[in-house]
Amino acid sequence: MAFIDIIAAKKSGKALTEAQIDEFARAAADPGTPDYQLAALLMAIRINGMDARETAQLTLAMAKTGDMLSPEVGGVPVDKHSTGGVGDTTTLILAPLVAACGGKVVKMSGRGLGHTGGTVDKLESIPGFRTELPEAEFLRIAREVGCCVVGQSGELAPADKRLYALRDVTSTVDSIPLIASSIMSKKLAGGAQGIVLDVKVGSGALMKTLEDCLALARAMTDIGRRAGRRMAALITGMDEPLGSHVGNALEVKEAIDTLAGRSQGPLLAVSLALGAQMLLLGGVAKDEPGARGLLEAALREGRGLERLRRMIEAQGGDGRVCDDTGLLPQAEKATPVLAPQSGYLARMDTEQAGLAAQALGAGRLTKDDVIDPAAGYILFKRVGDYLREGEPVAELRHAAKAPSGEAARMLRDSLRFSDTPPHIPPLIRARIAPDGKETQ
């Protein structure tokens, strides 16, 4: 089957056959297939879409290009996936908290994509931390510690690993079929039996509207249930960075501060909501109030932070960062960003704010770029706060040669002010429960 014929079919708006989709997945996993052919088909899919059958078939085909794990971890293996955002460090908080409550978290995460941060990049800012582990070691740590977070291995959904990198540099990130099949192929291959989806909505999300987010959540939960997995989804807001720290080492610091009880706010709230769903799907708790109670006790008693330390050390990292975050990479320079006018911070173009961190070196412009783990910024204000002109709204952290002036301009330009307090929508906009029931 000629690959160019598959490109031509989708370019013309035709639904691909099962054989064509299987060939697409096979070709993506084959290093001999040129990037430009895969990129052409990705763009055709982005423009013309895929129906539910095509999306489900692509998901299974990509999963089957590599190993399919059946984790034996002493309990129900659970996982969580976020569609990406800015300052979204929930994995580093909820994974150890869930483990401290008796859950078993087996998680494969990705690197930064577009303006969003990647969990693997964040973890690799911890000195010595290994995100590439043999399967046996990955499962042993999940069994003994209760949580293990690694990068996607070459043996698991290799077709997706290549397509994921290409989507970042071909402007094909924001496609529901490509997002759903990418996420769920890794989850099916990874063997988690309970999967919680955090689908972001707002100016900093891949999907900007609630309607699109629900369509994506429905597509992914449908794929998972067809494969025999327990599924739940939350639609959560990304109209401003979820945490106050944006950048890899900075976000690790905020996760540690949160687990140590030094930081609260939206980041913790979303982490607890997602963690509760993981405990429900894993059979650790019978209802949501009970699940939240378990998580809050683990947080209050410091067991979540201790579990993070154990995971870091088990994966070769320096666990002392849990006591001294100064051991994380530190930037050469700190540059304040001042409010350009007085008024209430009414809203933020969060995608622009994410690109400001990327400009400092916290993210990638091409798949081969090397990131600066110390780069990023700390926000001092959130939407709804009142600022006076010239008051610090953030502080950039960066290398001496980084374009800090450009990043400061981008961050300032992302801010919108008003004379009256703005309406602040709820963090959780909608839910798809394990039984499939939707609420908004």
Spans of all domains in the chain: 3-49, 77-324+428-439, 329-418
Q: Which of 81, 107, 309, 397 is catalytic?
A: 81
What's the rounded mean pLDDT across residues 40-45? 98
User: Half-sphere exposure (CA, 13 Å, Cβ side) for 361?
Assistant: 20
Q: Which of 160, 168, 222, 349 is catalytic?
A: 160
Q: Known catalytic residue: 245?
A: no
Tell me if residue 109 falls in helix, strand or coil.
strand
Q: Is residue 272 pLDDT above 80, yes or no? A: yes
Tens digit of pLDDT for each residue in 401-411?
Answer: 999 999 999 99
Q: Which of 167, 187, 218, 310 is catalytic?
A: 167
Q: Known catalytic residue: 167?
A: yes
Question: Confidence band (pLDDT; 50, 70, 90) for 154?
Answer: low
Residue 345 Cα distances to 266, 386, 419, angstroms = 17, 6, 9
The fold adopted by the segment(s) 329-418 is Aldehyde Oxidoreductase; domain 3 (3.90.1170)
Tens digit of pLDDT for each residue in 292-332?
Answer: 999 999 999 999 999 999 999 999 999 999 999 999 999 99
Q: Known catalytic residue: 369?
A: no
Q: Known catalytic residue: 81?
A: yes
Lowest-confidence range among 10-14, 116-120, 225-229, 241-245? 116-120
Supply the pTM of this predicted model. Answer: 0.89
Q: Is residue 142 pLDDT above 90, yes or no? A: yes
Q: Is residue 439 pLDDT above 70, yes or no? A: yes
In the CATH hierarchy, which top-level class contains the domain 77-324+428-439? alpha beta
Q: Known catalytic residue: 423?
A: no
Question: Confidence band (pLDDT; 50, 70, 90) for 71?
Answer: confident
Q: Is residue 173 pLDDT above 90, yes or no? A: no
Average pLDDT, the chain: 93
Burial (CB count within 10 angstroms: exposed 0-12, middle 13-18, buried 19+), residue 313: middle
Q: Which of 80, 104, 162, 186 is catalytic?
A: 186
Check: CB of residue 373 under 8 Å from CB of residue 361: no
Q: Is residue 205 pLDDT above 90, yes or no? A: no
